[in-house]
Structure 1
């Protein structure tokens, strides 16, 4: 590599870092595993990050330079949510009941998401990225009533979001695991349902946050061979075709 190549590479890195640091991201679900990973990754890129926590400020998030707002998402009003996100460019929704009690699923995965999307619609030039679930997940299993309810609610919530006049992205990962991330995925409008690490999901969310070209698109993701930056880059380039 020549000195000119080195200078060009350094300038590209500086431009990427500068662009990232200009983005302000608010995460609902920031204390969950994927939400926390996403916040840490974004802070490492210099992104300003905030999120909603149920109780006192989280020491680990504070150590990463994340600011937080205390409150309960399940009962927060549209007006309260609008105030929370007013100074932020991108809203990421990773909160969810994880197929828990039906009342929690209704309150978080459906009603709270609708209020968040209404708040985004009421404030101009914001994006909303939703971490959802593949509709066919676990079809080979005998699901409980709570799990069946969960998948039905997730689908209804997606439909409602797609009808909002906002820039939205819905990410549907396959079965989440806590294995180390691979850095490669299969990402597109339809993918097989297998397994994907939470770390790789957080990395794809990070890439989507920093790629504003991608909007009004449902994306499914599974374990695959394509580097995450390239996978998201392909989606972004498809808007130019």
Structure 2
């Protein structure tokens, strides 16, 4: 499959690109800065430089043309303010979804956040982040005809992945290594039966492939 990933230089995206390349897929990472391109090439992915905060739907659709799936893994980053949560975590996600529809890419996976809620109260930057993620999720679910899956990981860590997770509609809070998030994303992309599901993810006791299969079978 040809899989285009928004936020291609992110910590989860780089792990995902390496996994997809190892599985024989064609990974394409959308990045803002040309200086990040070599990092993507090192994973086996093809870099495409395009700023999703300023690009048009047609420009993004051009990148997505011919793809089998799209993954929105972009984020404004921990050092950004509330305004960029709106332009990246919500605005770029909506743009990427609209462009996927225009390009005829049906499979669409979103890396969201546990607790994402468009109606979340609070004036902190993290509250703005959760509102933006929640609004993007609502848009993808209710305003598009994509075959979407929304993944909501718990607290992200840089611990080595264990390959053992809990993947359910509601898991309760907990940590999860970025390695395991990437592994779950790779399985979701290869499991079309997970379309239409919003899933929370934390570390657990179930092997990744089995957890994704259970979700697709409605046993999560």
Provide TM-score, normalisation by structure 1.
0.83
User: Unaligned regions of 5+ residues in structure 2, if any?
Assistant: none
Q: Distance in 1 between matches of 2:159 and 2:212?
A: 22
What is the match of residue 76 of structure 2? Answer: 97
2:17–2:44: 8 Å Cα contact kept in structure 1?
A: no
User: Unaligned regions of 5+ residues in structure 1, if any?
Assistant: 1-22, 138-142
What is the match of residue 30 of structure 2? Answer: 52
1:213–1:236: 8 Å Cα contact kept in structure 2?
A: yes
Q: What's the secondary structure of 1:238's corresponding residue?
A: coil
Q: Distance in 1 between matches of 2:104 and 2:116?
A: 34
Runs of 4+ in 1 over 4 A off after TM superposition: none
Q: 1:129 aligns with which of 109, 114, 120?
A: 109
1:28 maps to 2:17: no
1:24–1:90: 8 Å Cα contact kept in structure 2?
A: yes
2:70–2:105: 8 Å Cα contact kept in structure 1?
A: no
Q: What's the secondary structure of 2:195's corresponding residue?
A: coil
1:177–1:196: 8 Å Cα contact kept in structure 2?
A: yes
RMSD over aligned CA atoms reads: 1.8
Larger Rg: 1
What is the match of residue 168 of structure 1? Answer: 148
Provide TM-score, normalisation by structure 2.
0.91
1:136–1:193: 8 Å Cα contact kept in structure 2?
A: no
From the superposition, tell whether residues 87 and 198 of structure 1 become closer, same or farther in structure 2 (CA, over 3 Å): same
Q: What's the secondary structure of 2:192's corresponding residue?
A: coil
Q: Distance in 2 between matches of 1:38 and 1:101?
A: 27
